[in-house]
Amino acid sequence: MDEATHTSDNAAALTRAAVMAREQELARVSRDLHDGLGQLITATLLDLAVVEKHIGVLPTEVVAALERAVQAVDASAHELRWICRGLGSAQVAQLGLKRAAESLLQDHAERTGTRVHFEMDADEEFLDDHAALCIFRVLQESLGNISRHACASCVDVGIRCCEKELVLSVSDNGSGFDPGNVGEHGSGIAGMRERASLVGGQLEVVSINSGVDHGTKVLLRIPIVSRCGGEDGSEGGGHTS
């Protein structure tokens, strides 16, 4: 192995280690939030339920304030669950990519009122942990961008096996933007590209911001070594290159 190859292998290993360390830290924060703050919110809701039982003896303005407090604490519990799900890569490991993606999309639809269509036509056994997490994080950032920037009414998500690639596509019918002109805006798209390259993949963002068919499409392609479904009936090794 020549020196240049050795150096670039070392750099790739270091970047991968940094990404994994970050994932572990996010998982820890998610657990702490869930077990600490989550339990406090649950306890507060239980106490408020006791107060609500005696609501008949309270003045009207106190009843109204109490109802607002119950709604706010309830909303906080919902928000916290959403944050924990978003932080934790454990969700992908526990549920598998398909169910983790479904849960993310259901949250997105509930929060934004957007119509969401999801299809997964790829066997999870062809995905290693790094590739599954990469797809989940790219989907997460794409949905975050749609809710923050796109004003879309529809989102179409597909995870498919095409030839020797796994392809994630996330399309919205929102405002669109000029990908060549985002300048110093944010680091989400750059982060998605970096994640894609770490698993040997590529990320493409196609967007139209004028005319009738405006919207944005994020395409992530990850190569797989063995053929999906094995036309020759052989079993796949499931490694990403």
Kindly list the residues in this chain that would bind ligand ATP in the complex (CB under 6 A): 145-146, 148-150, 172, 174-177, 182, 185-189, 216
- How far apart (Å, rounded) are the C-alpha atoms in residues 33 and 39? 9
* # residues contacting Mg ion (CB under 5 A): 3
Closest residue to ligand ATP: CB criterion: 186
What is the dihedral sign for C-alpha 140, 116, 199, 97? positive
Which of ligand ATP, Mg ion, none does 187 bind, CB closer than 5 to 8 A by kind? Answer: ligand ATP
Structure tokens at 48: 């408020």
Minimum CB distance to ligand ATP smaller for 191 or for 236: 191
Residue 172 touches which member of ligand ATP, Mg ion, none, C-beta under 5-8 Å by kind: ligand ATP
Q: Return the number of the residue (89 or 173) whose C-beta is nearest ligand ATP.
A: 173
Minimum Å gap between C-beta 210 and ligand ATP is: 13
CB of 213 to ligand ATP, least distance (A): 14
Contact assessment for residue 104 and residue 85, using Cβ atoms and an 8 Å cutoff? yes
At a CB cut-off of 8 Å and minimum separation 6, what does 35 contact? Answer: none
Residue 33 binds which entry of Mg ion, ligand ATP, none, CB below 5-8 Å type-dependent = none
219 CB-near residues (< 8 Å, 6+ apart)? 167, 168, 169, 203, 204, 205, 206
Q: How many residues does the chain have?
A: 241
Under rule CB under 5 A, residue 188 binds Mg ion = yes
| Residue whose C-beta lies closest to Mg ion | 188
Instruction: For Mg ion, give the closer residue by CB, 140 or 240.
Output: 140
- Answer for which of 30, 91, 142, 145 binds Mg ion (CB under 5 A) is 145
Could you give the CA distance from residue 122 to residue 31 in angstroms, rounded to a whole number?
30
Q: Are 213 and 232 in contact (CB under 8 A)?
A: no
Please give the residue ranges that form the binding site for Mg ion (CB under 5 A). 145, 186, 188
